[in-house]
Amino acid sequence: MKAIILAAGYGTRLYPLTKDTAKPLLDVGGKPILEHVLAKIQDVAEIDEVFVVSNDKFSPQFETWAETIDSPQKITVVNDGTKTNEDRLGSLGDIRFVIEQYSLQDQDLLVAAGDNIFSFSLQKLLDFYHEKKETSVALFDVEDKELAKLYGVVSIDENQKIIDFEEKPSAPKSTLISTGLYVYPAKVISDFLRFTDEHDTDKAGDFLAWLYPKQDVYGWRTDGTWFDIGNREQLEQAREAFV
């Protein structure tokens, strides 16, 4: 299995902190956000390579960072070639870029956002995936419907199969949201490539919304803390939690 960490955003909502520093390299608890994500991936023995996809502006920072990391897995920094927030490929576009550049069409993939930080075990998500043998998503209950409006809101049945998904709904049906942690089996990669041929590639949740009515997709409810670091307030909350 290969892992892709999405780190090609420009972090404009965190300016000036991210004007000259990539958001995933901001410090939380004495180390970059990205190292928290990588530490969780390193606990999963079946992952043998980690692709960190960035952009032309920040990829040199990630390459310098990668040189400092002692990892049992190979770490490959990928420059998606974009130079501004306006010409970015988007989450799905960057996943596709890595798949095509490194011929990952026949690989199972774990996809993680480089600006999320969490306490739960990714091995538990992988165990869940191996039980279901279908696309699996880590879910988190934000326990606030106003906050849920900012995310992809999910409903699952008694077997944890996703039966409803709405991206940033104005009236959320629940407070259970997608964390942006996905496990894609190799068998859906062709569907993923077809989807990204025909649709916008900005939001990772758009593929999930398209996929779940066509084939089984399962949601694993997390058992720990999770932060999506999109603004200064969320960054400070994460710093307090992971001091």
Task: Give the pLDDT confidence score for residue 204 in this predicted structure.
Answer: 85
Q: How high is the pLDDT of residue 1?
A: 96
Residues 107-134 pLDDT 10s: 999 999 999 999 999 999 999 999 999 9
Name which of 125, 212, 214 is nearest 163 in CA terms: 212
| Percent of the chain residues past pLDDT 70, beyond the cut | 100
Most confident of 70-74, 166-170, 210-214: 210-214
Q: Provide the pLDDT for residue 20.
A: 92
pLDDT for position 3: 98
Compute the mean pLDDT over every residue in the chain, rounded to the nearest whole number: 94
CA distance 200 to 92: 8
pLDDT at residue 202 in the model: 79
Mean pLDDT of 153-168: 94
**DSSP 8-state secondary structure symbol assigned to residue 161:** B
* Architecture per CATH, 2-241: Alpha-Beta Complex (3.90)
User: Rounded to an integer, what distance in angstroms lies between the CA atom of residue 208 and that of residue 155?
Assistant: 13
Q: Hey, where are the domains in the chain?
A: 2-241
* pLDDT value of position 68: 92
Give the pLDDT confidence score for residue 55 in this predicted structure: 96
| Structure token pair of residue 42 | 């390193």
How many whole angstroms separate alpha carbon 144 and alpha carbon 84? 33
Determine the average pLDDT of the residues in 58-79. 94
* pTM of the full structure: 0.94
pLDDT recorded at residue 243: 79
Amino acid, single-letter form, for residue 108: D
pLDDT at 230: 86
* pLDDT for residue 26: 95
pLDDT of residue 57: 95
Check: CB of residue 36 under 8 Å from CB of residue 117: yes
pLDDT recorded at residue 201: 82
Contact of 168 with 152, CB cutoff 8 Å: yes
Are the CB atoms for 165 and 178 separated by under 8 Å?
yes
Whether 11 shows a pLDDT value over 90: the answer reads: no
